[in-house]
Structures are given as structure tokens and as C-alpha cells.
A and B are shown apart, each in its own frame.
Chain A
């Protein structure tokens, strides 16, 4: 198991490295850090701008490969992801943002998978009844609604809820209130802020698992081995849960890995709407500020999230699928 996992992790690490380096070159191609200095008064000459940028390893006057070498050795040797065009360290930005985004993305990844699979099982065993048709219609809508619309509807509903309660139960902006102190109040406050963005992200992503799980389970419910299990004396629900579900879970688990990039894109939108200072919001601000090194750090984070999702999916498949044997050599 450990060996198999190590191999997988190594493969993903390679993917992350390639994707990050590719983004570095693309970002250098499409972003021009000099733009940040052009509007300064008094106006700077081209040489002055290049000199300022050179201290952050961003000067277009330096050959790209030299800059790349400087950048990559900085990361490998010192764990330093570079500086923005105005000299802010990318590391300090990432340090507090990464936790904010990771909890949002990973939490909704787990929630949407669990909810989606549970709904899939529930509706598949009630095919064509009201509950099935209702959830099917709901899922078709939520899977197709753009993230921004879903998040804003959640905001509107939360405002309604807060107004009808007369107090602010769920916060629609920010990751935490600046005035709260103490451990437990802080935890409660964080949760109050976390609920809405997590709901928005979960709403747009659970439906994929629901529809997939439903159709896979329906294919399996009528198969021979489920009928055999029934013949052995298991109840219908036991037979579905113990025999039908297990096989149909495998493709769902593998699809989790490919859903993570979409979730990260969703996080960009939800963080913008809910005013979170996370990686998603960093994504928009770095691109509009021509912050090459920041953009690359965001890409690395996105790739890392994808890798985590994929590895979790691999573990799930190993646990679920008796045909996959990974007992060492």
C-alpha cells in the first residue's frame, strides 16, 4: 500500500512541477510587471523600472532562462516563492491564504462527495418515484447554474434569514471578524463565516456525484450478484448497500480527482463574492497586478489540490475494489 501510494505521489509531484514551471513561462509571456511602474509620478525611465524590477528577479531585461534559474533555485534551496513587482513577499501572502482556501475547497470536496453519493443511493432505490424525480430536477439545475449565480442566491437567502432572525447568524463577507477574541468565540465566529461559502461550493458540485452514482447504481441493482445476495437472504437494502454500492462507488471515487480543478475555479468566484482573503482572491489580484511569482504560486496550489484529490480517490479505489491488490512487491 505504502509503496503504491509513494509511486502515485511521486507521479503527481512530477505533474505539479511541470505544471508550475509551464505557468512560470506563460505568466512571464503574458504579464508585464513594468506596467505597475508606468503610472507612478514622477514618471520613471525604462532603466529605472528595470533596475527596480531586477531586485525582485522580474526585470524583462534579464534573459528569461536566467530569471527562471534564479526563481527555481530560490524555491528549492530556500523555499522562497519570490516577490511581487512592488516587493511584497509571495510567501507571507500565501502563508495565511493557503489555510483559508484549503479548508474551503477540501471541506466542500468531502461534503459534496458524501452528499452526492448518499443522494444517488437514496434516489436509485426509489427510481421514478417523486423523491427521485424531484432530486433529479434539482440536480440538473444546480449542476448547470454558474457558480456566481449559485453563490449570490445563497447570499440573498442568508440576508433574508438574518433579517427574519433580527441578528446576524451567518456572515456574508470575510473569513472572520476582526474584533472577536478567545478560543471558543473565535471557533464559532470562523464557523459562522465558513458556512455560506462552503454551502455555495457544495451546491454546485454535489449534483455531478448524485447523477453519476444514481445511474451507476441503477446499472448494478439488477445485476446477477445483487440478485444472488438477495437469494442468500439479505434484504433489498442490505444487498444494495453491501454488494451493489461497492462496485458502483469506484467510478465515482475516480471522478473526484477530476472535479477538484472545477472546485478550485469555483473557489475563485466564491472567495470574490464572500470577500475571503484566500488563494482564489489572490488569483484575481495577482493577475490584475502583473504579479508573475504570485500567479505561479496560485497555479502550484491549484495543482497541489488536484493531486490531493487524486490521491484520496486512489486510496478510496484501493479500499473499495477487491481487484486492485497493492500488497507490496
Chain B
């Protein structure tokens, strides 16, 4: 993703920055804490709020949707095979007789778990690797960058497919594989930001006080690119959902009997003109998921970036 990322030093202590144009009088009034400020700026963006609401509804659906149907995703109703939506089966059934509603709940759960854990892991790894490379410099930096650049050129989708089809569709393996091939780009972005942080006075001060390198990276470098990492995380969720859907769609990701949004799409693709509800349900869910996450990411970027004009007056 080649969108612009928040600039440097977004987490300068905003509390101690009187130069910010403030509408409210500072003295006497309650000071706005940093998180309240972020929240206010985030809520100002309509798209971000809409994204948050949609995501909330999707998560609720994934967690509680199972309560509204007597079927489980693997139950087979032989009385209705490939039946269109009806009071009995709200979203219809597929050709094997599985209830589409129950499958959608389970598939969304699966896709969400995969996306969130992969994105969390890649964010952590890229933050650590990028910051370490930037802090140590020299040979370490060159070696890490070489690996990153090489992995960016390697046909990673093909290697993903190779490994995950070997695993036979276990979603836990899929998480590992998607993580292994998903951290490089972010690590490069983190590295680029962290290289300018390593010369800062507080890093120097910490070093001269005898703080160990790992501790400096963890306590001084990574927290200062925190806002970037938050945005990276949301964008990572979108990318992972897309990757998982693509892999499952061609049969190398999550595999039957397990269900994800990707496998549901693959089912729906075969019957797109005869039983379109099998396509509509996962298509709408997956689109809502990725678009809402992207909107949240945009909103967060604007809220956390002090140079952003979207922040408005406060």
C-alpha cells in the first residue's frame, strides 16, 4: 500500500505544546488529555465513525450471530439443498445443505481471527526488525534491508500457496505463513522512520546512561513510532483479509470442512447465476470488513498525525 503515512514524531507531548491553536482557553479550563484529543479528532471524520460502526456490527455478528440460528456451520439439511432464502434458512442453503447464515457467522469469525492475529504479529515483527536495523546500523542494517528487498521481489503469493496447501488448510498454519511473508514492507517503512529517531537526544542520553540496545529499541524507538504502527495494523488487517480470501478462493487457504469468507466466495462463484445468494452474503461481508477497516485506518492516521489538517482546531 503506497498511501502516505504519518510523519515523524507524532507522539510529541501534546499536553506541553501551547503553540497549538486552541479554541478553548487553556488556563483555567480542563486540559485535554492526549487520548481525549485523539478521540475527538477521530470522531470528527464521518468515514472513520461509519467504519467503526460497521466493524462493530460485524464483530457482534461474528460473536453473537450463532445465537439466532439453530444450525451450526457444518450441519447438513438434506430437506433443502441449494434452497433460496426462506424463514427456515434466512440466507438460504448451499448445494450440500449447509445453512448459509451459520456458515457466514463462522466464516466471518475465521477470517477475523486470521486477519487480526496476522496483522498483530506482522506489526510487532516489523516494528522490532525495522527499529533494530535502524538502531544498530552498519552491517545489521544492510543485511536486514537486503533480506527485506529480496523478499519483496520473491513471488510471495506462490510460496504462500505452496506452503499452505501442504498444511491442508489448517488456519493456524495459514496465520504463520501469512505472517512470515507479510512483514517486509512495513519493516522498511518503520526502518525509514526509525533511522531519523536514532540520532535524537533522548536516544543518545539513554545510550550514554548505559541502557542496553534492546531496551532502547523497546522503550525509546518503538513507542515513538506508535501512531504509525496503529495505522499499519489496520491496513494490515485489510491486506490479510484480501490475501486470505484469494488463497482460500483458489483452494490453498482455509479448506473444507472449515469455512472462511474465502471458501464461501469460492462456493458462490460456481453458482453465481443459479444460486446468487451464496455469493452475495460473503461478498457483502468481506467488502464491509475491508472497507470499514480502511476507513478506520484513514481516520486514525488523521487523528494521530499532528501535522494533519483533518485534525482541525484541537
Chain A residues with CB under 8 Å of chain B are 15, 18-19, 22-23, 26-27, 30-31, 140-141, 143-149, 152-153, 155-156, 159, 208, 211-212, 215, 255, 258, 261, 264-265, 268-269, 272-273, 283-284, 287-288, 295, 298-299, 302-303, 306
Contact = CB atoms under 8 A, between A and B. Distances in A.
Given A18-B150, A140-B295, A148 B246 contact: yes
Interface in B137-166: 150, 152-159, 161-163, 165-166
A324 to B, nearest CB: 20
Contact of B2 (A19, A255, A272, A288): A255
A299 B158 contact: yes
A287 B252 contact: yes
Contacts of A212: 2-3
Contact of A269 (B1, B152, B238, B246): B246
A258 B154 CA distance: 12
Interface string B263-301: 001101100110010010001001100110111001000
Contacts of B266: 148
Given A15-B153, A141-B287, 5 more contacts: A146-B287, A156-B273, A208-B1, A287-B161, A287-B252
B4 interface: yes
Interface in B202-246: 238, 241-242, 245-246
Nearest to B261: A146
A268 B159 contact: no
A255 B152 CA distance: 13
B287 A306 contact: no
B150 A155 contact: no
Given A140-B295, A268-B246, A272-B250, A22 B287 contact: no
Nearest to B294: A144
Contacts of B252: 284, 287
Contacts of A144: 238, 242, 287, 290-291, 293-294
B189 to A, nearest CB: 13
A19 B153 contact: yes
Contacts of A299: 155, 158
B249 interface: yes
B251 interface: yes
Contacts of A149: 245, 265, 283, 286-287
Q: Which of B155, B283, B290 has the most CB of A within 10 A?
A: B155
Contacts, number: 124
A268 B153 contact: no
16 contacts: A26-B162, A27-B162, A31-B162, A144-B291, A146-B287, A149-B283, A152-B265, A152-B269, A153-B283, A156-B279, A261-B156, A269-B246, A284-B250, A295-B158, A303-B153, A303-B155
A148 B249 contact: yes
B80 to A, nearest CB: 24
B78 to A, nearest CB: 28
B163 A265 contact: no
A156 B266 CA distance: 15
Contacts of B272: 152, 155-156
Grouping DSSP codes into helix (H, G, I), strand (E, B) and loop, the B interface class, with mixed when no group exceeds half, is: helix
A146 B158 contact: no
Q: What's the interface size class on B, roughly? A: 35 or more
B256 to A, nearest CB: 14
Contacts of B150: 18
B250 A269 contact: yes
A298 B155 CA distance: 9
B279 A306 contact: no
Contacts of A141: 287, 291
Nearest to A144: B290
B166 A30 contact: yes
B2 A23 contact: no
B158 A283 contact: yes
A273 B158 contact: no
A75 B290 CA distance: 43
Nearest to A283: B158
Contacts of B154: 19, 22-23
Nearest to B290: A144
B165 A26 contact: no
Given A26-B162, A283-B158, A148 B2 contact: no
A42 to B, nearest CB: 27
Q: Which 9 pairs show the lowest CB-CB distances between chains A and B?
A: A144-B290, A146-B245, A302-B155, A265-B157, A149-B283, A148-B249, A30-B162, A299-B155, A255-B2
Q: Which of A18, A140, A141, A303 has the most CB of B within 10 A?
A: A140
Nearest to B149: A15
A146 B162 contact: no
Nearest to B241: A146
A143 B242 CA distance: 10
Interface string B51-72: 0000000000000000000000
